[in-house]
Amino acid sequence: MPAVLYIVVPCYNEQEVLPITAPMFLQKIRDLAAAGKISDESRVLFVNDGSKDKTWEIISGLAREDEHYLGISQSRNRGHQNAVLAGLMEAKDRCDITISIDCDGQDDINAMDKMVDEYLNGCEVVYGVRESRDTDTFFKRFTAQSFYKFLSAMGAEVVYNHADYRLVSSRVLQEFANFKEVNLFLRGMIPLVGFKSTCVGYSRAERIAGKSHYPLKKMLALAVDGITSLSVKPLHMITGFGVLVAFASFIGVLWAIVTALLGRAVAGWASTTCIVCFVSGVQLICLGIIGEYVGKIYMETKQRPRYIISERTWNEEK
Ligand code: UDP
Ligand code: MG
């Protein structure tokens, strides 16, 4: 019996692009099923992330049209990571493999063939890795690449140029369900589950329609989330930096004493002000970084649900 595949697609305000990409996902399932690689029980599972436009109406309409389309709706907008998680958790008991993909057509759907092949070869996780970013603007390419470099410099291990386009088997998802953290950074968490994995390259296309929901501000927030949920390296760096500043201050104090003893003490207003400004700036930054972690702990202790599904396109008893 071939594997049942669920394609998990997060959608937020995607009314322009959904009618174009949904049939593409369906066709991919048909093609893979026709090739005997997956079962015809495979489905496209849309996760409406509290869209304010007609996205949910479109999803419900698709589900009525063809049984291969399924949809769940989150009770409100919670962000891409939570939407993907909701879809994966919903899918994990109904299928053998999941592939998460954005709904804007930027990720090459044809890479799914290779992903499924790798699964059939025994891999439980297959990361989609962007090989070229020719279609991205220079700015997007530059910020996105700096993002990966910055993450790994900060001790958060991620697969280079991999976003959230990946195949994950339900076996891995069952284990992943035990990762209870509220701060989600899926691309850094899935590697922690382990199991045999590999990468499949694809080239990234332009968004078919609509506009990106990941402006620089959200990318920065995602980077901070990624670092603080995967690594405590910034805290170590603060300690290291503190030692350095303390050492420099010690030398400064020695210098001050020596000049005073030699009777050459000058007003020294400028240097004093500089040092005070510098050290207080450093302290504020360090406090801020520690605060980020305290904030994370605060959110984790609340143990709020990571997603709330308000509607499904199917009857739950079924
Ligand atoms: N998305 C979501 N919730 C959000 C923001 C985005 O589910 O709050 C979805 C969006 O519909 C898309 C995917 O996440 O399918 C990636 O978003 P986008 O294409 O805007 O990001 P980019 O590709 O520009 O990084
Ligand atoms: Mg996109």
What are the pLDDT digits (tens) for 114-163?
Answer: 999 999 999 999 999 988 766 677 777 787 778 788 877 887 778 888 88
How do residues 61-117 score in pLDDT, each as one tens digit?
Answer: 999 999 999 999 999 999 999 999 999 999 999 999 999 999 988 888 999 999 999
Q: Residues 6 or more apart from 184 whose CB is under 8 A from it?
A: 81, 82, 85, 225, 229, 306
Burial class (CB in 10 A: 0-12, 13-18, 19+), 121: exposed
**Ligand 1 atom nearest to 163, measured from its CA:** 25
CA of 163 to the centre of ligand 2 (A): 10
Percent of all residues in the chain with a pLDDT value above 70, rounded to a whole number? 95
Sign of torsion over alpha carbons 284, 286, 289, 295: negative
CA of 24 to the centre of ligand 1 (A): 18
Residue whose CA is at the smallest distance from ligand 1 atom 15:
102
Query: Quick one: pLDDT at residue 124?
Result: 93
C-alpha–C-alpha distance, residues 167 and 314, integer Å: 24
Residue whose CA is at the smallest distance from ligand 1 atom 6:
80
Residue whose CA is at the smallest distance from ligand 1 atom 1:
80
Taking a C-beta distance cutoff of 8 angstroms, is the pair 120, 37 a contact? yes
Q: Kindly identify the ligand whose nearest atom is closest to the C-alpha of 102.
A: 1
Query: Quick one: pLDDT at residue 133?
Result: 64
Of 23-27, 160-164, 185-189, highest mean pLDDT: 23-27
CA of 72 to the centre of ligand 2 (A): 20
Of 200, 216, 210, 84, the residue nearest 141 (C-alpha) = 216
Neighbours of 210 (CB within 10 A): 18
CA of 257 to the centre of ligand 2 (A): 60
C-alpha–C-alpha distance, residues 213 and 288, integer Å: 26
Radius of gyration of the chain (CA): 25
CA of 194 to the centre of ligand 2 (A): 27
Both structure tokens of 191 = 């590697």
How do residues 59-74 score in pLDDT, each as one tens digit?
Answer: 999 999 999 999 999 9
H/E stretch holding 52 reads none
pLDDT reading at 316 higher than 80: no
Encode burial over 261-272: b for 16+ CB neighbours within 10 A, e otherwise: eeeeeeeeeeee
Ligand 1 interacting residues, C-beta cut-off 6 A: 10-12, 14, 49, 77, 79-80, 83, 102-104, 106, 212-214
Which of 44, 55, 85, 213 gets mutated to test ligand 1 (max ligand atoms within 8 A of its CB)? 213
Protein residues with C-beta less than 5 angstroms from the ion ligand 2: 102, 104, 106
Residue whose CA is at the smallest distance from ligand 1 atom 2:
80
Contacts 24+ apart (CB under 8 A), 259-263: none
The number of residues in the chain equals: 318
Query: Quick one: pLDDT at residue 286?
Result: 80
**Ligand 1 atom nearest to 13, measured from its CA:** 11
CA of 84 to the centre of ligand 1 (A): 10
Both structure tokens of 95 = 């299928």
Residue whose CA is at the smallest distance from ligand 1 atom 13:
102
